[in-house]
Structures are given as C-alpha cells and as structure tokens.
Amino acid sequence: SKPAQRIAISGAAGQIAYSLLFRIANGDLLGKDQPVILQLLDLPQAQAAVKGVVMELEDCAFGLLQDIIITDDPKIAFKDADFVLLVGARPRSKGMERKDLLSANAEIFTVQGRALNEVASRNVKILVVGNPANTNAYIAMKSAPDLPQKNFTSMMRLDHNRALSQLAAQSGQSITDIEKIIVWGNHSPTMYPDFRFATVNGASLTQMINDETWNREVFMPTVAKRGTAVIEARGLSSAASAANAAIDHMRDWVLGSNGRWVTMGVPSNGAYGIPKELLYGFPVTTANGEYTLVSDLEIDAFSRERMDLALQELLEEQNGVKHLLG
C-alpha cells in the first residue's frame, strides 16, 4: 500500500477538529487508499481532552489511520508534515479589543510559522482555519521564509459553499450544476460573494435569477452573516460545516478541481489590484497539487468597491501586526 501521509492539526481538542479528525481518518481528505498519520497539536491545558478524542478515534478502528501523535510542541506536531491544518486560534474573550485579539494570534502564528519553517516537509500544504484566518496565514507565511509562499493558504471555502447553497436554493438549480462563483476578500463580514460569472450547464445564472435587489439585499448579507445565524440557532459556532469546508479546500488542492472554480485565500501575485503577498480570497482552479488564479475577470465599479473594502480591512489587520514580524 502507499506510504502514509503526515497530517498535522492544531486546535485538536476544539469543536472543528472534533468533526475534522474523524473524516480525515475515514479517507475523506486524501482518498480511501491513502494511509494517514495524525499529528495533533493543542495547548498544554487541552492535552487531556485531546487524549479523549484519540480514544474515540481508536474506537472507530479506521483502517487508514496508521498512527497518532499528541503534543503541545509545534516542532513535534509539524515534523515532516505533508499537510497542516491550523485550526486552533485564540478566540475573542469578553472585553478583548480587536487589536489584542490580533496580537495574541500573531504570536501563536509567528511561533507556528517558525516551526513549520524548521521541520515541515518542503512541499507542505498549509491551510489556516483559525480566525482571523487570512492574517494568521500571512503571519505564518512571513515567519517561514524557507518555505514557498504559495504553500500558505487560508479558508474561504465555507463562505464559497454557503454562497453556492443559497444560489442553488434561489434558482432551483442543483448545486453540482452551478459553476464559477467567487467569494473575494476576507473571511469576515466584508467578504464579497460574486456570482456575476456563474453558469448552470453553461447558461448564465445571473440571467436566471435576474434580481439585483435580491443579490445586494438578501444574498450578500445572508452569506456574510451566516456564521452569526448558526451561532444564534445552535448556541455554538459552526463546526461540522467548517470542517467540511477545510476538507473540500485541501482535497481539491491535492486531487484537483477538474476545471471548476473554487475560492481559496492565497498570497496575491498582484492581480486585481491586490498588493503582492496579501492573503486574499480569489477564484482558482486546481490540478496536479497546484492552484492557478482565474485571471482577467472584468471588475465593475460595484465589485471594485466591495473588493477594496475587504482589502482595506486586511491591510489594517496586517499593518496592526507588522511590528511583530521583525
């Protein structure tokens, strides 16, 4: 059988990981013929909880799960890792200012970036889920100068999937027939879900829906506020859907999107007026383990305004942590 792939996951005791780990061990990420080794990272005070999750993983008797490592040391967790999902992040606590949240996470992702730089596989594929995801990914990337920048990505896929599902419901079309949607920008309320180019079996979805008021007053806010709506209904933040999006993101990156557009947060190459290196949600296609930007799309005045709003927010986030990057 194939040699095992090493998959490191931070925040392993958390909610999202509780959905994610079982699906990875089941082969949902890399395929049903690919053995995996899980390298689980969490804080010292979360180690007992991680052990509980590991007991449950053992009790599933997954045939593909070759080994599990538990640690609170990023250099052990990331050692020779082929894939890294950075899920753990410092949540906003009561009375905490945005600036303090950013600094607390900047510290975590600086340490983790340095550890990745030192010990991870040189081909490692990294996805940052923990918020603020785009800025956390930027910090990790800047802290890992020996790794290719293109290996650092952030999760915009849940926003993409949420948009897709809303569009399918509104148009009465099936999810699998809808292609070419995008969520530009930041995983935050400034995100810009854009279906101007979307098609259903080649026909224009915009023409089918033909309702700009719905787009601006229902669709865009529904997608942007979906996380809050789930928290209100469930009393807890979305976890299974976030884990599912992380799997979609990684699986498409590794196994290819077969020509379909998917949204990934990736370091900008300067396209669409987004400054180089900034981690921003872009449309990409994936093949042979690489992603390729969908370029030269027309950006109208409304889209430019929305894309710049997300850009401004990201620039503020990234300027707020610059001094920590040395």
Binding residues for ligand NDP (CB under 6 A): 10-11, 13-17, 41-43, 46, 87-91, 108, 129-131, 133, 158, 227, 237-239, 242
Nearer to ligand NDP, 230 or 294 (CB): 230
Token pair of 255 as six digits: 């196994």
Token pair of 283 as six digits: 């449309």
Count of CB atoms situated within 10 Å of the CB of 77: 27
Nearer to ligand NDP, 158 or 223 (CB): 158
Nearer to ligand NDP, 81 or 205 (CB): 81
Token pair of 234 as six digits: 């469930």
Task: Find, among 113, 158, 103, the residue nearest to 138 by Cα.
Answer: 113
Q: Which residue is nearest to ligand NDP (CB)?
A: 14
Per-residue CA distances from 60 to 20, 31, 52, 54, 301 (Å): 14, 17, 13, 10, 53
Q: Could you tell me the smallest distance in angstroms from the CB atom of residue 158 to ligand NDP?
A: 5
Nearer to ligand NDP, 209 or 314 (CB): 314
Q: Could you tell me the smallest distance in angstroms from the CB atom of residue 41 to ligand NDP?
A: 5
Q: Could you tell me the smallest distance in angstroms from the CB atom of residue 47 to ligand NDP?
A: 9
3-state secondary structure (DSSP) of residue 34: coil
Nearer to ligand NDP, 149 or 237 (CB): 237
Q: Active-site residue 249, yes or no?
A: no
- Which residues does residue 213 pair with via DSSP β-bridges, in sequence order? none
The one-character DSSP state at 125 is E
3-state secondary structure (DSSP) of residue 128: strand
Q: Are 187 and 265 in contact (CB under 8 A)?
A: yes
Among 160, 187, 249, 323, the one annotated catalytic: 187
Token pair of 33 as six digits: 């013929």
3-state secondary structure (DSSP) of residue 137: helix
Q: Kindly give, in sequence order, each residue whose CB lies less than 8 Å from that of residue 307, ignoring residues fewer than 6 positions away.
A: 184, 185, 192, 272, 273, 274, 299
Q: Would you name the residues annotated as active-site residues? A: 187
